[in-house]
A and B are shown apart, each in its own frame.
Chain A
Amino acid sequence: MTEMKATRDGYGEALVELGKTNPKVVVLGADLTDSTRTLWFAEKFPDRFFEIGIAEQDMLNTAAGLSLTGKIPFVSTYGVFIAGRAWDQIRTTICYANLNVKIGGAHGGVSVGPDGATHQALEEITLMRVLPNMKVIVPCDAIETYKATMKAAEIKGPVYIRFGREKIPVITKKDTPFKLGKAATFREGKDVSLIACGYMVCESLKAAEKLEKKGVSARVINLHTIKPIDKEAIIKAAKETGAIVACEEHQIMGGFGSAVAEVVVENYPVPMRFIGIQDRFGESGTPEELIKEFNLDSSDIVKAVEEVLKHKHG
């Protein structure tokens, strides 16, 4: 059986490890420390944890100030409250000056579940990738989130890491290579490429299984780093498979699929389809129900593939 684990747990574990190995790392919280798993760091390293209260804008800029003294601050709360409410702080104070602030955006996607639309971040990829100097990572499972978090501490400048609330299958291993800005091909295929991030990598792998039974060979690419984007892998996929379906648990507009399309259109145009949220707010429900409700599951991907194949050149 595949192990199930929430990506936020990978974040929390990495912060604890960083606490042990890198004295410069500090963590800030905004009254959601348990839920973002930063509590694990706070309990072990109370002198390097700063509770700021329900004050996201203040938290982001306090982190900016700490980074100016050489610390490596990690700030976290739910994606809506961080990427949305504190966007101007992230833009003008952090990104403009390329400050070394790491942002953990929790509760990404509709799979947050019953809390509903107010708490389901569906816009952060768009909001963050549009900012110069920002790097955006959407890891596909807990192990990859751990690696992304460790990597974020190593590199200079602002990083946004998106993670989710629910337990999802762990599909990578400790020794699966993770390179920032380098896509990983999780399954070879020649008829179509499924390019995905976050939980949608898992749904894409399921879709590829189903497609194989239908005689369609689908490549599955885990494009965990949305910025800087791996142009090479995308262009290669366009050339070699001739059709692309981009899959994200996020608004299609301006988001992950748009980032992929920007590369495709300019370099090697091939037919594309987009799996993602279609200009709607989220809803309450169980994660499984919502994945279906918003047409994000593997059978939706299969349908999109069948559709895109009809438009494939030659």
Chain B
Amino acid sequence: MEKKKRPDIKELEKEATEIRKDIIKMLGEAGSGHPGGSLSSVEILTGLYYYKLRYNPKKPDWPDRDRFILSKGHVCPSLYTIMARCGYFPKEELMTLRKLHSRLQGHPHMLYLSGLETSCGSLGQGLSIANGIALGARMDKKDYRVYCLLGDGETDEGQVWEAAMTASHYKLNNLCAIIDRNRLQIDGFTEDVMKLESVKERWASFGWHVIEIDGHNIKEVMDAYDEAERTKGKPTMIIAHTIKGKGVSFMEDKAEWHGVAPKGEQIELALKELNMKPTKEQLEEAEG
């Protein structure tokens, strides 16, 4: 397997901020959509698309590409933004999100936009699909890897645990799933809606290799993907601890910002905040 050089972490951090700005702009233009989980998953997806995933945006059907399955389809704004920035389609198209005849449907549709591996939006289904692809890869003796991003609230769905069993039963070590553990779903905190803890022990007891990380720390994200790839005999679950709405202070940690788009002044405020966001360098300087 080809070794990929690690991109510069500071560059990726800057890129993550740009991605967040795009998300705010496109949701603002669309007038609806899901900022909270889009913002919390930015580094998870950045680590994939800027480092780990092997793909060719000019040949989205390249048979040996790694596959990324977005199970929580509602956070497609962050996926679309990253796909555009990585060359799958022109950036201007981001502003067509959720509009009539757009390739960027409110929830992703693979027949409209090449580069998407599935259509999704009904929660709880992606991990099973990822399992199927991982089984297919094994039958074909291919070494591509399969990644799947789930929401934490999404794991309320029974099907997720069916899939958890299947992946471990078939020892799918070519599969790496990530839970965006932002602790929020629509009706409130996950622990109030339907207790998920202890997430780590649950997945471990289902036979998964479990890695816990700070999901906003790009280095930890990339390290986790590497560790997953080295893991033999079982699938890997990365529990990425994140903040829902990350990067926009008035959205952070608020269930209300799950599925409402910012408008007017809110957009400006959010962008201003993201523009001002000091880089790690600046922070280090400030700390002296």
Binding site for B on A (CB under 8 A): 26, 47-48, 50, 52-53, 55, 57-71, 73, 88-89, 91-93, 96-98
Q: Is the CB of A92 within 8 A of B125?
A: yes
Q: Given A58-B163, A58-B166, answer yes or no on A66-B109 (Cβ-Cβ < 8 Å).
A: no
Q: Given A92-B119, A96-B109, A97-B118, answer yes or no on A65-B132 (Cβ-Cβ < 8 Å).
A: yes
Q: Given A65-B129, A65-B131, answer yes or no on A97-B119 (Cβ-Cβ < 8 Å).
A: yes
Q: Give residues 145-204 of B contacting A (CB, 8 Å).
A: 158-159, 162-163, 165-166, 169-170
Binding-face segment, B2-10, B133-141, B226-234: B133-141
Name A62's closest neighbour in chain B (CB-CB).
B132
Minimum CB–CB distance for A90 against chain B, Å: 11
Q: Given A61-B128, A89-B125, A97-B119, answer yes or no on A66-B133 (Cβ-Cβ < 8 Å).
A: yes
Q: Is the CB of A66 within 8 A of B136?
A: yes
Q: Given A55-B162, A57-B159, A58-B163, answer yes or no on A66-B132 (Cβ-Cβ < 8 Å).
A: yes
Name B142's closest neighbour in chain A (CB-CB).
A69
Q: Given A57-B159, A63-B132, answer yes or no on A68-B117 (Cβ-Cβ < 8 Å).
A: yes
What are 11 A-B contacts with C-beta separation under 8 Å? Answer: A57-B128, A59-B128, A62-B129, A62-B135, A65-B131, A69-B132, A69-B133, A69-B136, A71-B136, A88-B122, A93-B125
Cα A96 to Cα B140 in complex, Å, equals 26
Name A53's closest neighbour in chain B (CB-CB).
B165
Q: Give residues 110-124 of B contacting A (CB, 8 Å).
A: 110-111, 117-122, 124
Q: Is the CB of A93 within 8 A of B119?
A: yes
- Answer yes or no: B130 CB below 8 A from chain A CBs: yes
Name B107's closest neighbour in chain A (CB-CB).
A92
Minimum CB–CB distance for B281 against chain A, Å: 42
CB-defined contacts of A61 to chain B, threshold 8 Å? 125-126, 128-129, 131-132, 159, 163
Q: Is the CB of A65 within 8 A of B134?
A: yes
Q: Is the CB of A62 within 8 A of B166?
A: yes
Q: Identify whether the interface residues of B are mostly helix, strand, loop, or mixed.
A: helix
Number of interface residues of B (CB under 8 A): 33
Q: Is the CB of A96 within 8 A of B119?
A: yes
Q: Identify whether the interface residues of A are mostly helix, strand, loop, or mixed.
A: helix
Cα A122 to Cα B8 in complex, Å, equals 60
Please provide the 4 A-B residue pairs with the shortest distance between their CB atoms, ordered closest to farther: A65-B132, A69-B136, A61-B128, A58-B162
Name A71's closest neighbour in chain B (CB-CB).
B136
Contact count A vs B, C-beta below 8 Å: 109
Q: Is the CB of A55 within 8 A of B119?
A: no
Q: Is the CB of A62 within 8 A of B117?
A: no
CB-defined contacts of B129 to chain A, threshold 8 Å? 61-62, 64-65, 68, 93
Name A133's closest neighbour in chain B (CB-CB).
B111
> Which residue, of B117, B137, B163, has the highest number of chain A Cβ atoms within 10 A?
B163
> Which residue, of B122, B159, B169, has the highest number of chain A Cβ atoms within 10 A?
B159
Q: Is the CB of B139 within 8 A of A97?
A: no
Cα A92 to Cα B111 in complex, Å, equals 12
Minimum CB–CB distance for B72 against chain A, Å: 14
Name A48's closest neighbour in chain B (CB-CB).
B139
Q: Is the CB of A69 within 8 A of B140?
A: yes
CB-defined contacts of B163 to chain A, threshold 8 Å? 58, 61-62
Q: A62-B129, A64-B129, A96-B111 are in contact. List 19 more A-B contacts (CB 8 A).
A: A47-B139, A53-B165, A55-B165, A57-B125, A57-B158, A61-B125, A62-B132, A63-B132, A64-B132, A65-B132, A68-B67, A68-B129, A69-B133, A69-B137, A91-B122, A92-B122, A93-B122, A96-B109, A97-B109
Minimum CB–CB distance for A100 against chain B, Å: 12
Minimum CB–CB distance for A44 against chain B, Å: 16
Q: Given A68-B118, A92-B119, A92-B125, answer yes or no on A57-B135 (Cβ-Cβ < 8 Å).
A: no
| Cβ contact of A93, chosen from B120, B165, B169, B170, cutoff 8 A | B120
> Which residue, of A26, A64, A67, A70, has the highest number of chain B Cβ atoms within 10 A?
A64
> Which residue, of A59, A62, A73, A96, has the highest number of chain B Cβ atoms within 10 A?
A62
CB-defined contacts of A70 to chain B, threshold 8 Å? 136, 140
> Which residue, of A47, A50, A88, has the highest number of chain B Cβ atoms within 10 A?
A50
CB-defined contacts of A67 to chain B, threshold 8 Å? 132
Name B121's closest neighbour in chain A (CB-CB).
A92
CB-defined contacts of B133 to chain A, threshold 8 Å? 65-66, 68-69
Cα A66 to Cα B133 in complex, Å, equals 5
Minimum CB–CB distance for B189 against chain A, Å: 26
CB-defined contacts of A69 to chain B, threshold 8 Å? 132-133, 136-137, 139-140
CB-defined contacts of A47 to chain B, threshold 8 Å? 139
Minimum CB–CB distance for A272 against chain B, Å: 36
Minimum CB–CB distance for A162 against chain B, Å: 24
Cα A97 to Cα B159 in complex, Å, equals 20
Minimum CB–CB distance for A131 against chain B, Å: 13
CB-defined contacts of B165 to chain A, threshold 8 Å? 53, 55, 58
Q: Is the CB of B111 within 8 A of A65?
A: no
Name A70's closest neighbour in chain B (CB-CB).
B136
Minimum CB–CB distance for B235 against chain A, Å: 13
Q: Given A53-B165, A96-B109, A97-B118, answer yes or no on A71-B139 (Cβ-Cβ < 8 Å).
A: yes
CB-defined contacts of B139 to chain A, threshold 8 Å? 26, 47-48, 69, 71
Minimum CB–CB distance for A76 against chain B, Å: 16
